[in-house]
Amino acid sequence: MSWLSEYKSSLKNVHAEEFLDVYLYRPFAFIIVKLFYSLPLTPNNYSFMSFASGMASGYFFYHGSFSWGAFFFFMFAVLDCCDGMQARMKKNGSEFGRFVDGLVDYVANIVAYICLGIGVTKALPLTAGIPTWYLVIGAGVSKALHSIMYDHYLMEYISYEKGDGGFVQREIEVIRHKIKEAQLDPNGSKRRLLILKIYLGFSSLQAGNEGRTLKFDSQEYVKKNFRSIQMWGLIGPAWHITFLILAFLFNHAEWLFAYAIIFGNFWMLFMLFYQHKLNTELTKSNKVVA
């Protein structure tokens, strides 16, 4: 199998990947995974390396070393892709690994933005006459909101692509079944039972953005929304990460604020209007599931 074919097979779903992930972060991640493929590294090892990079970025942001902070935040983004790719390539993923991956992503982003806010406020109290700390909070809140909206429509798109709206719910049922088995097994590991319960809670949170009843014809929805999900990706996590890296690698904090607060929120409102228009067209075309 060629590296290109192997790379494509390591992706979750080409439609579920952001443009910058497919053409920037994941290619770097794939090279790292391939270079160290023969070593006994697990997906969790990459998750912990990703976490360490995220914490390092926070440390440098806090102390005003923004170029180094940007570098380590880039490494965090790359290594955050490595764990899933390693799991898919070696088929050694686990419930605990998926939970760790999600936890690392949330914690590293929160720490990076808080430390960035403290560091950049000390170095640059005002940006365009506005307290910089307010702009950092605005950028962080905007990123969270954009990620929620992107995830919502991404999960909806995947639901229609798969032809049903309950694939996360089915995974939850599998986890519940495993928990029952672990509880009935007198020789079962308490650690595994705890991990399964934590992962159940994590998956239940994910299910909040999924599990909807499909209202439209699946093929027609996917056809109409293929471009839309790519457009939503312009305010996905990868673009926020990239603007943060570029802004502080070149000492132009205003790039991040302009993208996240001005462009990002304008684009979100435009996409909500556009998505409503698409759904209205689907309804009028009688492509509604009976």
One domain, residues 151 and 78: no
Q: How confident is the model at residue 171 (pLDDT cuts 50, 70, 90)?
A: low
Which of 123, 156, 187 marks a domain boundary?
123
158 plus 178 within the same structural domain: no
CATH number of the domain at 93, please.
Answer: 1.20.120.1760
pLDDT digit string (tens) for 101-139?
778 888 999 999 999 999 999 999 988 889 999 999 999
Question: What pLDDT does 229 receive?
Answer: 92
Same domain, yes or no: 157 and 286? yes
Angle at 241 between CA 46 and CA 81, to 5 degrees: 25
Identify whether residues 79 and 199 lie together within a single domain.
no
pLDDT over 60 (residue 247): yes
- In this predicted structure, what is the pLDDT of residue 1? 61
Q: What's the pLDDT score for residue 156? A: 83
Task: Decide if pLDDT at 236 tops 90.
Answer: yes
Specify whether 154 is located in the same domain as 285. Answer: yes
Last residue of a domain, one of 123, 152, 181: 123
Q: Residue 281 belongs to what domain range?
A: 127-165+216-290
Statement to judge: residues 174 and 87 lie in one domain: no
Separation of alpha carbons 180 and 41, rounded Å = 31
Query: Each residue of 232-255: b (16+ CB within 10 Å) or e?
Result: bbbbbbbbbbbbbbebbbeeebeb
> Is this model's pTM higher than 0.95 or not?
no
Q: What value does the mean pLDDT of the chain take?
A: 85
> Is 60 exceeded by the pLDDT of residue 289?
no
Rounded to the nearest 10 degrees, the angle between the axes of helix 132-162 and helix 237-249 is 150
Q: Is-contact 238 20, C-beta < 8 A?
A: yes
| Cβ proximity of 223 and 287 under 8 Å | no
- Total domains, the chain: 3
pLDDT in tens, 44-75: 899 999 999 999 999 999 999 999 999 999 99
My answer on whether 158 and 265 are in the same domain is yes
